[in-house]
Amino acid sequence: MDCMTTKLNEKDQFISKLKKSDSTLGQFYNLDAMEDKSYYERLTSSNNGREVELANIIKEYMSDLSLTEQQENNIALLSDGAKVIIGGQQAGLFGGPLYTFHKIFSIITLSEKLSNEYEKNVIPVFWIAGEDHDFDEVNHTYAYNTQYAKLQKIKYHTMTPPETSVSRYYPDKEQLKETLGQFFKQMNETIHSKPLLKMCNDIIEANDSWTDMFKALLHEVFKSYGLLIIDANDAHLRDLEQPFIKQIIEHHSEVDEAFRNTQKQTIANGLEQMIQTDTNVHLFMHDNNMRQLLTFKDNKFYLNKSDKYFSKDELLKIVDSEPQLFSNNVVTRPVMEEWLFNTVAFVGGPSEIKYWTELSDVFNTLDVTMPIVLPRLRISYLYERTEKLLKQYQLDENSIIEKGVEDYKKQFVRAQASQEFIDQIEHLKVQQTQLYQRLQAEVDGNNDNKQLLDKNNEIHQKQYDYLIKRYLLNIERENEISIKHFKELNEVLHPMGGLQERIWNPLQIMNDFGIDVFSPSTYPPLSYTFDHIIVKP
């Protein structure tokens, strides 16, 4: 595999500003990600004292997996007080979008880099956001069909979508296997297809919950890197979180005020508002098989999907007896994560790290130190065929990754068309406009005739535009193969108007290049970078 980096233009320049230690962003982050002293400060800071319990919980959570020696060592190191690089993601269907894997590669790359540079053990940890309940976000993925140069949406259908946390959801295994079969039918059959399909079917058969299947897939791919995995919704983890859940409830009004005030400051400094929530408690509670948002009003805590309410004392007693019923929302989840782990750096997606700018005072209010915040690696995969098409049409891959092929396609079609034909029609449009202007004087003062003339001119102009449009469409049809090539380039490098990693599924890459394509022996050693990475398998 070959690996190179390239610079892409960002719409809001947020990551570029982060790289330049922009003062506007700096006031909302605790530490400057570009300063070596920030890493030294985090690596030498005091531990929170929860590392032994946390290591035991992770060991128990991963006990159904065949751990590698490196994973076993990392659990032991975590117990001994090793710091972590951490990031998380929802449990997407068949691994979800490619960027989930890229987030994990970012965590691994940074942990290895810091371990080597500072001669301290830094552990890669991935946090499954199993407490999330928005099933529509995780129940589908996309497969690329080369025959039609088209992405096909693949969705796991259920008549009863869960309203509870995804970790509490147990899918129908036969239905899930059928969905997996539909996914593989869209892809080219390669020498890797059958073993990959078997691996995925085995994972479905061996696990019951949605997140356990997700965990098993991540483990198969990243176990050789020593990656540790934990589900945010794990019952033992919730037991450990119990005192902090109570702290959030006790100080919910201060937490909400801190969040709202910081958000106002970020907006006043020209940053986009990221978090939208109506709650003032920033916790969920599981009740009646539903994950329900808690809201405080009239001195009571109300559930948003029922008529139940609790006094503060009643709610705290429930936390004492059943902490697993509670979970964080987008405001308190990052703080909970950092309360649990001794973190050097948090790795998030471009939007995710923007959320954190709105949370600086929440961290302070709950007496938790915000770690270094870094964007994940961004990666596109350049197939050999894709590269050949780029050369055939003399196109710039960076431009297509960033903006798509539409401009290139229009240039190509125009090059095949008769410019004389188009110029003559444009000339007719000018003549029509001149005629319309002369005739306006003849109907001046007669409103009915003026409206008739306006409508007639509009019809003529539309007909000329239609003539050009249909002429160019006919040129496209005459060059059907080339147009399909442009479509293919777009679906591979700029699908659905965005980056490949946001739409494509990692199984697609594994099917085309091998089950071990992401393993240390195959995948190119990555260096952490703010630039975009292009990998040529």
Q: Is the separation of the CB atoms in 84 and 124 below 8 Å?
A: yes
Helix residue ranges per DSSP H, 128-209: 173-186, 193-206
| Residue carrying the six token digits 């001994």 | 80
Q: Is the separation of the CB atoms in 378 and 102 below 8 Å?
A: yes
Residue 153 shares a structural domain with residue 205: yes
Please tell me the predicted confidence (pLDDT) of residue 177: 98
3-state helix, strand, coil in the chain (%, to 5): 55, 15, 30
* Rounded Cα gap, residues 526 and 144, in angstroms: 26
- Would 267 be classed as within a structural domain? no
Residue 409 shares a structural domain with residue 482: yes
Residue 354 shares a structural domain with residue 473: no
Please tell me the predicted confidence (pLDDT) of residue 1: 75
Residue 344 shares a structural domain with residue 428: no
Please tell me the predicted confidence (pLDDT) of residue 435: 95
Residue 510 shares a structural domain with residue 492: no
- Would 262 be classed as within a structural domain? no
Please tell me the predicted confidence (pLDDT) of residue 164: 86
| Structural domain boundaries, residue 431 | 385-497
- Would 320 be classed as within a structural domain? no
| Strands 150-155 and 122-128, bridge-based pairing | unpaired
Residue 195 shares a structural domain with residue 238: yes
- Would 268 be classed as within a structural domain? no
Residue 489 shares a structural domain with residue 517: no
Q: Is the separation of the CB atoms in 283 and 294 below 8 Å?
A: yes
- Would 301 be classed as within a structural domain? no
- Would 226 be classed as within a structural domain? yes
- Would 441 be classed as within a structural domain? yes
- Domains: count for the chain: 2
Which segments within 238-368 are labelled E, that is strand? 283-287, 290-297, 300-303, 309-310, 326-328, 343-348
Residue 346 shares a structural domain with residue 470: no
Residue 230 shares a structural domain with residue 371: yes
Say how far residue 421 (Cα) sits from the centre of its chain: 47
Residue 365 shares a structural domain with residue 470: no
- Would 6 be classed as within a structural domain? no
Per-residue model confidence as pLDDT tens for the chain (537 residues): 788 888 888 777 899 999 999 999 999 999 999 999 999 999 999 999 999 999 999 999 999 999 999 999 999 999 999 999 999 999 999 999 999 999 999 999 999 999 999 999 999 999 999 988 889 999 999 999 999 999 999 999 988 878 889 999 999 999 999 999 999 999 999 999 999 999 999 999 999 999 999 999 999 999 999 999 999 999 999 999 999 999 999 999 999 999 999 999 999 999 999 999 989 999 999 999 899 999 999 999 999 999 899 999 999 999 999 999 999 999 999 999 999 999 999 999 999 999 999 999 999 999 999 999 999 999 999 999 999 999 999 999 999 999 999 999 999 999 999 999 999 999 999 999 999 999 998 998 899 999 999 999 999 999 999 999 999 999 999 999 999 999 999 999 999 999 999 999 999 999 999 999 999 999 999 999 999 999 987
Residue 109 shares a structural domain with residue 211: yes
Residue 359 shares a structural domain with residue 219: yes
* Rounded Cα gap, residues 26 and 266, in angstroms: 11
| Residue carrying the six token digits 């960002």 | 10
Instruction: Give the 3-state secondary structure of residue 446.
Output: coil
Model pLDDT for residues 255-286, shown as the tens digit of each residue? 999 999 999 999 999 999 999 998 999 999 99
